[in-house]
């Protein structure tokens, strides 16, 4: 009798749970998605800003004279939460793309793929819980994310990049202002310097730098619990130890400051 009672109670709770999830749309692990695709006419020199959270961002160039914004919204909990997240695009001398919601919706992500004419300038990209990838465009760009990597390739301009719990990769004809991460590695080419000092830092990650032979800069590198390797780069050193080097490349100039902890630093000649 007792066993039969327990079985009936179990069936009752299963029924109630099913009714609750059906009524309130709580279909867990059932992804729903919605696409966004629009194009925008822009003038040469128009600046792009993008603000996102929970998703990936990919920006590249193409041979068209307009901007294409393609995005995919995804929800793990059905259309109800999907509708709470909007994609807003404004044009007022610049093009601003923004993911908007009244509050933080943890189960919804937005992935962007934006294509630009070559004369549009990328000014700022902010993201969280996702990667940022930029390829073939231009601009002195500020890039910010968390829990995701940053990759820049074939870029015309200076990069200021910051993330956490993610790696940073910068390759191509790029200049660097500042590169900062934690719990991630950094790999970057330095082909030119601007008017300001350069700062490259991480923790719990290695750093690999490829420096052009045309660079003239002061150089300071430090690490802890690891080592620094110069490889084929010629440096006039003033202070050298296993995990600290201070000197200059070429004739010297603005400072390139490089620091990590629990990670190695390798310097290579850019070929």
Contacts of 90 (CB under 8 A, 6+ apart): 96, 98
Sorting pLDDT into bands at 50, 70 and 90, what band is 104? low
C-alpha distances out from residue 196 to 169, 178, 200, 207, Å: 21, 10, 13, 21
- Return the pLDDT at 22: 45
The pLDDT assigned to 6 comes to: 54
| C-alpha to C-alpha distance for 78 and 30, rounded to whole angstroms | 7
State both tokens at 47.
């600046």
Distance CA 269, CA 139 (A): 25
**Residue 24 pLDDT exceeds 50:** no
More confident residue, 189 or 27: 189
pLDDT at position 30, please?
A: 72
Minimum mean pLDDT among 24-28, 94-98, 113-117, 203-207: which range? 24-28
Residue 239 is predicted with a pLDDT of 87
Instruction: Work out the mean pLDDT of the chain and round it to a whole number.
Output: 89
pTM: 0.86
> Residue 121: pLDDT above 80?
yes
Q: Is the pLDDT of residue 4 over 90?
A: no
What pLDDT does 29 receive?
A: 56
∠ CA 70-76-80, rounded to 5°:
85
Reading the block at residue 129, the tokens are 């819980």
Q: Classify strands 244-249 and 217-222 as parallel, antiparallel or unpaired.
A: antiparallel
Q: What are the φ/ψ torsions at residue 2 (nearest 5 degrees)?
A: -60, -45
Cβ atoms of 85 and 101 within 8 Å: the answer is: yes
pLDDT digits (tens, 9 = 90+) for 231-260: 989 999 888 888 999 999 999 999 999 999
Q: What is the mean pLDDT of residues 185-204?
A: 95
Least confident of 100-104, 127-131, 151-155: 100-104
Higher pLDDT, 180 or 28: 180
Examine the pLDDT at 20 and tell me if it is beyond 70. Answer: no
For CA atoms 3, 4, 7, 13, the dihedral sign is negative
pLDDT-derived band at 25, boundaries 50, 70, 90: very low
Contact present, 116 and 134 (Cβ < 8 Å):
no
pLDDT value for 42: 97
Rounded to 5 degrees, φ, ψ at 208 are -125, 125
Longest dimension (CA), the chain: 92
Strand partners, 160: 142, 178
pLDDT for 7: 52
Range name among 15-24, 158-167, 181-190, 193-202 with the lowest pLDDT average:
15-24
> What percent of the chain shows pLDDT beyond 90?
75
Least confident of 2-6, 20-24, 69-73, 122-126: 20-24
Q: What are 94's strand-pairing partners?
A: 47
Residue 27: is its pLDDT beyond 50? no
Give pLDDT, residue 138.
Answer: 96
- Are the CB atoms for 60 and 116 separated by under 8 Å? yes
Residue 14 DSSP SS3? helix
pLDDT at 78 over 60: yes
Q: How many alpha carbons lie under 13 Å from residue 203 in its C-beta half-sphere?
A: 3
pLDDT in tens, 255-270: 999 999 999 999 999 9
């Amino acid at each position: 009798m007792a066993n039969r009672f327990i079985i009936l109670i179990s069936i009752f709770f299963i029924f109630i749970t099913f009714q609750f999830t059906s009524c309130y749309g709580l279909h867990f692990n059932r992804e729903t998605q919605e696409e966004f695709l629009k194009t925008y006419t822009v003038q040469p020199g128009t600046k792009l800003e993008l603000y996102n959270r929970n998703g990936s961002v990919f920006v590249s160039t193409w041979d068209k004279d307009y901007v294409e914004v393609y995005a995919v919204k995804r929800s793990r909990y059905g259309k109800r939460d999907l509708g709470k997240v909007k994609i807003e695009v404004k044009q007022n001398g610049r093009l601003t793309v923004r993911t908007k919601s009244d509050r933080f919706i943890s189960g919804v992500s937005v992935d962007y793929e934006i294509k630009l004419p070559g004369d549009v300038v990328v000014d700022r990209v902010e993201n969280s819980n996702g990667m940022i990838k930029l390829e073939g465009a231009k601009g002195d760009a500020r890039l910010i994310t968390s829990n995701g990597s940053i990759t820049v390739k074939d870029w015309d301009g200076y990069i200021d990049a910051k993330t956490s719990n993610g790696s940073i990769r910068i390759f191509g004809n790029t200049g660097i202002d500042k590169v900062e991460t934690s719990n991630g590695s950094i790999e970057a080419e330095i082909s030119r310097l601007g008017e300001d000092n350069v700062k490259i830092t991480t923790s719990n990650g290695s750093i690999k730098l490829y420096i052009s032979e045309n660079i003239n800069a002061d150089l300071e590198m430090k690490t802890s619990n690891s080592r620094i390797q110069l490889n084929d780069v010629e440096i006039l050193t003033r202070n050298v130890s296993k995990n600290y080097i201070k000197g200059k490349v070429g004739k010297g100039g603005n400072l390139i400051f490089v620091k990590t902890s629990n990670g190695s630093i390798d310097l290579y000649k850019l070929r």
